[in-house]
Amino acid sequence: MAVGLDSGKKIGGVVLGLEGITLSFGGVQALQDVSFDVREHEVRAIIGPNGAGKSSMLNVMNGFYQPQQGVIRFRGREHCWMRPHAAAAMGIARTFQNIALFKGMTVLDNIMVGRNLKMRCNFLLQALRLGPAMREEIEHRRAAEEIIDFLEIQHIRRTPVGRLPYGLQKRVELARALAMEPAVLLLDEPMAGMNLEEKQDMCRFVLEVNDHYGTTVVLIEHDMGVVMDISDRVVVLDYGRKISDGTPDEVRSDQAVIDAYLGVAH
């Protein structure tokens, strides 16, 4: 994959830190004492075999799940848990493994939903399309159009999402997340179920988002080629525990990781 976009990138300090996160559902331990951090402007991948706790980790990060133990540090502030709407307001956006878009709405409307948090006018002003609401609408529409242009989805602007092929729906979901202008973008398997060409497009978009908007990206991905190509650092989970953490090269040569992926007698 020809990627040469990160030439001007500067990775900053820790923006999101997770310490001793433990999460269980009844008797099932989903995450056990997992700690790692995410630095500003980096692309951070979370990998691991099925059931390793990757999606749970993402859900803890944006407040879908509340961990029993552990601390989440976001931009210097400590939280025992996040609430989804609070996480969103603080600048954490995400996409889902199983696309969660409004299928009956157009691409544009779905993206405008992502701007919702940024809108200041009250419901009445918006419903009556009064001056300030119109000005705000125009401003947000422009932001939405810039994202449409950025992700090259002009041709489906007015198409209901339900009529789009899977690969494009994934792109629309990314667009909606971007519309929040997030500081941290959580992507849950953005390339799952895609063909090679779609994967390459998606990689390009993720890297461009990272480069152009300076967005910090945390992503879960199964395709090792993709992960090793686009990530700055990788954390590996297995059975709810962190087994490795480091640059793609370090992780690739880590015996614990090889064992987890190829399987050894437990």
First to last CA, the chain: 36
Per-residue exposure over 1-13, b if at least 16 CB sit within 10 Å of its own CB, e if not: eeeeeeeeeeeee
Q: Specify the residue, 8 or 76, whose C-beta has the smaller distance to another protein.
A: 8
Contact 61, 234 (CB under 8 A): no
Shortest spacing between CB 7 and another protein, in angstroms: 5
CA distance 64 to 157: 30
Shortest spacing between CB 29 and another protein, in angstroms:
42
Q: How far is the CB of 264 from another protein (least distance, A)?
A: 36
Minimum CB distance to another protein smaller for 47 or for 179:
179
Tokens at 200, concatenated: 């390459």
Residue 262 CB, nearest distance to another protein (Å)?
29
Nearer to another protein, 83 or 141 (CB): 141
| Least Cβ distance, residue 6 to another protein (angstroms) | 9
Which one, 161 or 260, has the nearer CB to another protein? 161
3-class state of residue 173 by DSSP: helix
Give DSSP secondary structure letters for 38-63: EETT-EEEEE-STTSSHHHHHHHHTT
Question: What are the residues binding another protein (CB under 8 A)?
Answer: 2, 5, 7-8, 141-142, 145-146, 148-150, 152, 154-155, 157-158, 208, 211-212
Of the pair 2, 264, the CB lying nearest another protein is at: 2
